Amino acid sequence: MTGRSFDERDIHLALDGELPREDLPAYEAWLETRADMRALSARYETDRSVLREALAEVSREGLPDRLQGKIVAAARATKGVRYMTRRRVAAVAAVCIMAGAAAGFWMGRQQFVSGETLAALDVVGEAVAAHQVYAAEKLHVVEVGASERSHLVRWLSNRVGTKLIAPDLRGEDFDLMGGRLLPSGGKAAAQFMYEDQAGERISLYVAHCIKGEDTGFRLFEDEGRRAFYWQEKGFAYTVAGSIDEKRLLQVANVTYRQLLAGR
């Protein structure tokens, strides 16, 4: 029997039949001792059943080769979705293509985190809090303005310790306002702020991971505060804002693709 520890990612693996057979006895014993994890597992299994019914027709449709190739390449490139089989990656694509179902898919299949589990996600709490504080500013929203974009990106990259870009979100109707350096767990974090013509603001926050594991997209939502976030290669990325969930998901997807391409 393996002596390794388990977490919520293993719940996904077990439900999808992808947990190594030799780990199953230890996993089941772990689940027996964790009422919260058993409840989470039951919820994910229910969600999966609902999704299977809702997407029965979509799952039988083939994807264009052009799209399937790009999606599989992206899945290979990021450990954050490494537990997805190609079949599941295709299902993600099919749902995301359907604009009306995209947000619903992520709500059903990915792990969504509420205020009760925020204690284990300090970096996300920091990102959302920083967004609330600086998005409300009138005169000092950013430390370095968008007119100094190149300097801003170089400076924040050097201080945070990873290659950063300021994603171009004009296709989503958001213009870069600038960014600033922030503290996070004794290290440096970066915040890029964006604004649309209606005055709505969203931000990208990049910080070192509190936990080193890679993850897929997750949603934090609590009392009007909303953010999509993921962890990869030692860093946590959070796209925060109070805009519609579907629109924020689209912005997060565009941001993720640009960050991946910019490395």
pLDDT at residue 217, as a whole number: 79
Which has more pLDDT, 7 or 53? 7
Residues facing 201 on adjacent strands: 195
Q: Is the pLDDT of residue 228 over 60?
A: yes
Q: What 3-state class would DSSP assign to 161?
A: coil
What band does 98 get if pLDDT is binned at 50, 70 and 90?
A: very low
Distance CA 214, CA 162 (A): 16
Q: Residues 156-177: what's their mean pLDDT?
A: 96
Distance CA 164, CA 179 (A): 12
Which has more pLDDT, 27 or 74? 27
pLDDT at residue 50, as a whole number: 66
Q: CB within 8 A of 170, min separation 6: which ones?
A: none
CATH architecture designation of domain 115-261: 3-Layer(aba) Sandwich (3.40)
Q: Is the pLDDT of residue 56 over 90?
A: no
Instruction: Count CA within 13 A, CB hemisphere, residue 60.
Output: 5
pTM of this structure = 0.57
The ranges of the chain annotated as CATH 3.40.1000 are 115-261
pLDDT at residue 42, as a whole number: 79
* pLDDT per position as a tens digit, 109-134: 344 443 333 333 578 888 999 999 99
